Structure formats: structure tokens, C-alpha cells
Amino acid sequence: MTAADPAVIEYLYELWDANWDDGPLGNYQILKHEITKKTAKRIYFTYSTGGHRAGFVDRQKIEADGEVYHGYTMRRLHLAPPEIPSRPKPPSLAELRKAMADAHPDRGGTDEAFIAARARYEKARAINA
């Protein structure tokens, strides 16, 4: 690296749910917290949210596990950007109707299973109406 080369900026990453307090969960974003200093025992960083507060994590633990729970802020920090979890696709009305038919007592199901399957179908139908 020459003097003209820009310094490489390193980050700690956090998987953050943008709707954690308002609305459905699962609106994930990756936050990047800039690493400001590394010592043999600690990695110091500044939060990308909440001003420019500083924090640190145990370097040996995060380098061994790839992530660490930062108890002061109750955040899980990662060395590499974590994968954003995908939300399972809800079953279609046709799938729910089939499950309801399969659970019918005349087809070998139980009354309880049929009632539960019908409730799931009716709820989905009301949402899609």
C-alpha cells in the first residue's frame, strides 16, 4: 500500500429488523459499524445508529465464532455481513382447501384436525377477500 492508496475501512455488521417496534417483523437490514481500532484483546467500533458512540467487543471471541453478543446494547455483531433470513411463503388458498379436505373425518381425519384446518382456511380467505 502506498501513501496515495486510501485506507481500508473495516466494519462489524448487525442484522437489524427495521420494524422491531412497529409492524410485522422481518423487514431486515444490515447495519455497518465502523471499526476504529484493534488491539490484541479488543475491537473498538462506533455505532452507525445513535450518534457516534463508541463500543468494543472481545476480539478473540468474535474472531473464533464470527459473531458476538454485545450485552451493553443487546446486539449481535458479526465480522462478515450475515444472511438476511427469508420469511416462509404462506400457503395458498388451494393448498389450505386441500389440507382441509384431507383432514375431513370422512377421509380418515379427526374432528379436531378438520376444525383447525377449516379455521386456517377461513382466516386466509378473509385476509385475501
Mean pLDDT of 2-20: 77
Of residues 51 and 63, more confidence is placed in: 63
- Residue closest to 16 by CA, chosen among 8, 26, 7: 26
Tell me whether residue 40 is in a domain.
Answer: yes
Mean pLDDT of 84-107: 87
* Residue linked to cell 454485545: 70
Is there a single domain that holds both residue 25 and residue 64?
yes
Return the axis-axis angle of helices 111-128 and 93-102, rounded to nearest 10°.
Answer: 160
How many structural domains does the chain have?
2
Domain that holds residue 33: 11-78
Tell me whether residue 84 is in a domain.
Answer: no
Is there a single domain that holds both residue 72 and residue 113?
no
- Residue closest to 14 by CA, chosen among 35, 34, 36, 30: 30
pTM > 0.75: no
Q: Highest-confidence range of 18-22, 101-105, 124-128, by mean pLDDT? A: 101-105
Tell me whether residue 6 is in a domain.
Answer: no
Is there a single domain that holds both residue 25 and residue 69?
yes
Mean pLDDT of 85-112: 87
Q: According to the model, what pLDDT value does residue 89 have? A: 77
